[in-house]
Each structure stands twice: as C-alpha cells, then as structure tokens.
Structure 1
Amino acid sequence: MKEADYGFNELVHNKSFQRWINGRANPKEKVYWDEWVADNPKNRSLAKRAHREIAGFTIKPGSNPDRYRAWEELQQRIEKAEGASSNKSYNFHPKNKLQWFFRAAAVFLVVAATGIAVNFLNSQESQEQAEQIVRNEIVTEYGEQKTIKLNDGSRIILNAHSNLVYTVDPADSNEVEVFLDGEAHFSVAKRENPGDAPFKVRTSAGYVKVMGTEFVVSTRNQGTQVVLEEGSVALAPMNRESRETVMKPGELAEFNADSKHIRSRLVNTEVYSSWTTYQLVFDKTPLADVVDRLENTFGIKVVVRQADLYERTISGAIDNSSLEVITSALSNTLDTPITVRDEAVYVGK
C-alpha cells in the first residue's frame, strides 16, 4: 500500500482512525488501517501513542510537576466520591468514570486559568496524598526484556518494545496499579486478607484485577489479551459497568474497550509465556502468529512470499536469543529459504 504520512495530532483527531481503534471501522477502513499499521515500525509506534491518547490516558507522566499534582488530586477526589456512592469497594464504572474524567479536565483548565490552583496545591491534604503515591516508568527496546521486583513480592517481566508505568502507595505495599502498553508477564504475590487492595493492570481496553496469580497480558493487536497460568483474575472492559468476568487457569481471554462479551478459550499457556525464559514455544501455532511475534520482538518487517505458507502451523521450541537462530530454525521447520535483508525477513522463494 502507499504510505500516508500522519502527524500525531492529525492521527488522534482522524475520525476513521478513531473508529478503527474503537472497533467500529467499516471493512474498507479496517483494511486501510490494518495495512497502514503493518507497513513499518514507525507507523505502529505512532498508532500506539495515538491509541493511548484516544483511550483517555498517556503512559508517560506529564512534565510539569505542579499541574500533574493538581490533576492527581482531582482524580483522587473523584474516586472518593465514586467510592462513597457504591457498596462495592472495587467496582469500576467506565461510563461514569469517563464522565467524571471530562468534568475533571474542564475543572482543571478553569483552575489553571484563574490561579485557584495555587491555593488548591497548598492544602495539606493534597500534599499528603500526592506524596503518598510513587510512580515509575519502565520502557524496553526491541530485543530487550526487563524484570521489575515490587515490595509486595510481585515480579513483572516486561517484553520487548513495551511501556509500563506502575504506581505504589508506600503506606500499603499491596496497593499497586500498573498501566501497560505492550506485553508483560506478571507473578503477583497473593493477598492474604480479604481487605487487601487488589493488584490492578490497566490497558487502553479495560483492566485486570488480581489477588495473587501468574498471567500474561498483551496489548499488541489493538485490544487486550490475557493468558492465565494459575490462580484467578477478573476482567472488565471499559464499557461494561462494574461487570467482571473471572478467568480460569489455562484460559486465554481477549477484549477491547467496547467489548460486550469477552472471548475466551483454553490454550497451552506455555506458548504465551515461554518468551520469559528466552524461548519461543509453539503448539500448532499458525505462521501468522509467529510473524507477529517476530515483528513485535525484533522490530523488523516479515514478508511471506508464498501465500500457501500461511496454511502451515508450527510446533516445538526455538531459542529466542537472536533473530538469526530463530530464522534458521523456522527455515528448517518450514523447509523453505528465509533471508534477512534491509531490516526485513523474507520467508519463501
């Protein structure tokens, strides 16, 4: 396809792109944006940034600490008000949340413009609340993994080309919230007491609530994919008011922000978590899925020259330490030549 050059703001305000992000694109639009995103890593990176903006939050914290603190204070007061009107401690009301979000944004602009923010920020309560929250950002490049160990005993392995922001309340090490764009494996320490705060993973499509378990979350393909290895987690897309779906071990679940139903099926979980041990395990995995894995891990474009190869499935384990090792193993498995040239992998003759 002919590449179109979009700026960030232009993409965020593009109605067709917004429909595609929200799963409402018509067939022609879907083909266009699917191909545009697949065209090169620059497009994929730009689309992810625009996706986060449209979803209502940005992974990277703001650069102005005073405004950021005021924004945090507004959010905390909103959450207090919502909590007082609900009998359930951890219910999430996405539509109400969005309404509060936009009201809060409007209030924040008025406060900043009139100078009232100075008094607002100087209140003892806002200072104490802002100081309580510790916020960290972790970023991985292509071909890189990072491990994050939290004070509550939880461990996160962040896969290649991913962004993760996590907040921790020093007064309660169990109160952890993570924002993820990319792919990560979570090993969450068990919450022993019923009153303990759950560990939450948020994506642009919704959230995963955890009380102690091991699972993988990926936002690689527009929506959110969760694979549960052990324990249990509760899922809630943005538009499902307080309704949560509880997963069972061995299940893969997929949803996006507008999902009315969460799609789930039983899988071999090792296929989705093996990357944490620098191996790729495949179990009758379609070649298209293998292609996605290579592109997201190494930041290269994969071109399959023979359409019939997409009908092939792959089983077995491959060392994930280098692109050269993987392509060599795939070439032997598929019995077809694979060449690497100009930051692209060509499969087939």
Structure 2
Amino acid sequence: MTGQLTPAGPARAPARDGQFDHLRLEGVCRRFGDRLVLDGLDLHIAGGEFVALLGPSGCGKSTALNCLAGLLPLSGGSIWLDDRRVDTLPPERRGFGMVFQNYALFPHMSVRRNVGFGLRMRGVARVRARERVDEALRLVQLTQYADRLPGQLSGGQQQRVAIARAIVVEPPLVLMDEPLSNLDAALRLDMRTEIRRLHQSLGLTTVYVTHDQEEALSLADRLVVLREGVVQQIGTPEELYRSPANPYVAGFMGYRNLLPMSVVRGEGGYATARGDGIELTGTAAGTEPGRDGEGIVAIRPEDFVVGQPPTGEDNRLDVVIEVVEYHGRELSVQARLPSGQALRLRTPERVARGETVSVWVPRGRVLVFAADPS
C-alpha cells in the first residue's frame, strides 16, 4: 500500500455548525462469514475534504461506506469523528447524510416532503424546517418542482432531490454510493459539476464511492483505490494519474495496455523489457522486478503516435489494425502485435482495418512495473 494518509488540505468553504476536524478510520475490517471483504482500512479525512473510494465491483468500497454509515457493523477496528468514537453508534445517531444509487425516494410524497423527511424525524420545528427545505431546494435548483411527485421528475432531478434530502439535515458527513450510475452520459456530466459545486459552496465533507476513474478524478480531492478489501494507493488525482503504485492502479488510471514482459535491465530511472519479439524502454515504476525478472509494461492508448518517425529514444512497434471506432477528432483503435497481443490506441491519424502501421511511444510515457504478485 502506498499514499499519504493525512491530506495536505484542500481549499474549503468556512466550516458550518456540526463540522469536524478529522474523520479517522483505524484498522476497519468487515467479514461476511469466513470471507474478509475489508481488510484493515486506515484513512484520515479532513473536514471539508472530498474523498473518492475507487475500484471494481466487489473491491470493498461500498462495504466501507456502509460501515461508515452504520448500516454494517465492523468486524474490527474503529471510526472516530475527532475524539468521539462513532462506530458504536446506530446510524440515526451518527447524523450522516446518505445518497444512494437508486435515489430511495418515497414515491407517494412530494419533493418537499421527501426533502424534509429527515427534519421531521429529528423533530425540527415546522417553520424552521420549511426554511431549510426551501434553501436546500434552491441549492439544487428544484424550487419550482417542490410540489411534484418523484415519478414526475427526470432521473437527474430525482437524484438532486436525494442530494437535497441528504444536505438539508446539515450533516457532518455526506456519503454517496454510486449516485450517478443510473443516469445517462450527459446527465452524469451535469450532475458531477452540481455535486462538486455543492461540496465547495457548503463546505461539505464527502465520501464518494465509484468504479468510474474519470468521475473520481474530476470530483475528488483524494482517491483511495481498493482491491479485494485492501488499499492499493491513496493520493491526489494528479499523484495517482502520474505515478500509479502498481499495475492494478495503473489500469484504473487509464493504462489500458498492460503487457506481461521480462525486465532485462534498468539504469537512470529507466527499465527495458522484452517479450514476444518486442522491446520497450520506460520509467521504472513501483518496486524492483519480481522473480525471474517478470514485469508489466503499462501504456495509455493516447500516448501512442501513429506514422511518426522515431526521435531516437521512442519505442517502435509494428501492428495490424483490427477495429476502428470513430470518435470525432480522433479514432479509438484496437490493433494487434505480431505475437497476437492486442493493443488499444487513440490517434487523430486515419487508419483502416487490415492495415499494417508503425506506432511509437516515448519512453517517458511507458511505465515498467514488477509483475503483480496476485
């Protein structure tokens, strides 16, 4: 595991009532029977920070969120808000806001009554509750829909109702579990901006679960990449994008080409790998080469250059074009090496299926890792 556990501190709005300095997860574990699905999670989150838990289905990210919310008891470890331990409290006493993937709105209640539900459960005076609901609806730009039922709203509007319901109780922490996964592509982009705007303007502390690396990079102050319940790397979006700790993290940071090769030498921060009739030189990343010099070479599709003469230090590969997808200004291409290994490329150059072309990639855009031991 790599990464800093204490954040540098993002720029934040002034703290609101009920805000805290730090949320701490210390050795948090969760078992389902004999299966350990969350293994010793240590994480410090500053008040006002936006942290995204990133990984594929089954990696433990939603389990971590549900442990935070109190929906799942811990099998080990503890959770603290400053000096107050909260993992021993039931969900309603933690006071956290939660936004679910499926919105979880009451279909028979108006937008206003859905948003105000938590305030009614807390016994907030009617006049004060109405003021807070009006403000929450204004923040999510749904004032004109206050008297409609959820079924009369679009998916994006329903998700904004869910967000308003979470923030109206002025929680110390907002937990979001894949909140955009049911929306179409255009709405996802709009809602990403909306969530970030609300986070910054209200000084919220947010823990956000997603499997979408682009979503995580655009929203979060820090990312936590999980694999089978174990943290792989913690850091800012830029840190993880530029310096993934291992091939698994690299795969989530856009390195779609992960080539098993043998590392044969390294000097000056570079390493050279060979395999299946090709040789590639790149930045030596992560740990030293594994047993028998096994390694993984990682390259992003957009870092290949098609049809350009080498500069003297660029890596050259000859490939056959198999699949071409039109993406406007550039093409997304699947090609194949003579060995049969597939490569993914993105290029503005026009290429055709069946064509043999030379592609180059600068050594500074190639990462050479030790083989993933798992």
> TM-score when scaled to structure 2?
0.28
Counting strand residues as a fraction of each chain, which structure ranks higher? 2
Counting helix residues as a fraction of each chain, which structure ranks higher? 1
* Larger of the two Rg values belongs to structure: 2
